[in-house]
Chains A and B, each alone.
Chain A
Amino acid sequence: GENVEQHPSTLSVQEGDSAVIKCTYSDSASNYFPWYKQELGKGPQLIIDIRSNVGEKKDQRIAVTLNKTAKHFSLHITETQPEDSAVYFCAASLMDSSYKLIFGSGTRLLVRP
């Protein structure tokens, strides 16, 4: 069935270091891959996304890469700051006419000051 695996489940980095979170999807028909940040008591917030016709996308300190052949995609956060501490979710969307996101299990990122 449809599945998205996400690693690591927890990640602790020193402020200023980089953080990388990796996801693997199972359905080769997936064509849209968003990343969400969820802070305590809040709903997930879209931080960056990538479509299957693009290999890499960057927005300031955040970048996402996609390897369609390997069905892998990754989130890279550079120059981490304490406010980056949150739970991050990757997701994949099936290529059909309806909207259905399959989420990874989440990565709890802690940025130590």
Chain B
Amino acid sequence: KAGVTQTPRYLIKTRGQQVTLSCSPISGHRSVSWYQQTPGQGLQFLFEYFSETQRNKGNFPGRFSGRQFSNSRSEMNVSTLELGDSALYLCASSLGPGGNTEAFFGQGTRLTVV
């Protein structure tokens, strides 16, 4: 059974640009959540989607957005990139809909903003 797939693995962008990251969940999983991991702030929740609906959003500015498609694949977008957006972005998938089932993470996308 394939795991969670995130693409691309690495990205280098310039300040002010925008970026789109992709996540393909485990087959049959309908919940996809996104996390930002930095050395200073640790793992922080960005948002969660289930059946194409955003059900929860973390404390991040509106520059961070996402969506989920009918096949459960998800994308997140960051506009007007800032140096502080450099981080490992992780996607996790779970069966859903409740918040007490196992979540499995992908390898992440390492974003560097220069």
Contacts and interface: CB of A to CB of B under 8 A. Distances in A.
A94 interface: yes
B102 A100 contact: no
A103 B42 contact: yes
A43 B56 contact: no
Interface in B81-114: 90, 92, 94, 96-108
Given A42-B107, A43-B90, A45-B105, A97 B100 contact: no
B64 interface: no
Contact of B99 (A32, A41, A105): A32
Interface stretch (B14-22, B43-51, B67-75): B43-51
Contacts of A106: 42-43
B100 A95 contact: yes
Interface residues of B, number: 30
A96 B107 contact: no
B56 A44 contact: no
Contacts, number: 80
A51 B100 contact: yes
Given A98-B56, A103-B43, A49 B102 contact: yes
B55 interface: yes
Interface string A84-112: 00000101011111111111111000000
B50 A98 contact: yes
Given A99-B94, A99-B96, A34 B102 contact: yes
Given A44-B90, A105-B42, A97 B97 contact: yes
Contacts of A32: 99-101
Contacts of B90: 43-44
Contacts of A100: 33, 45, 48, 56, 58, 99
B99 A46 contact: no
Given A46-B104, A98-B48, 6 more contacts: A46-B102, A98-B55, A99-B31, A99-B33, A99-B98, A99-B99
Interface of A: 31-32, 34, 36, 41-46, 49, 51, 89, 91, 93-106
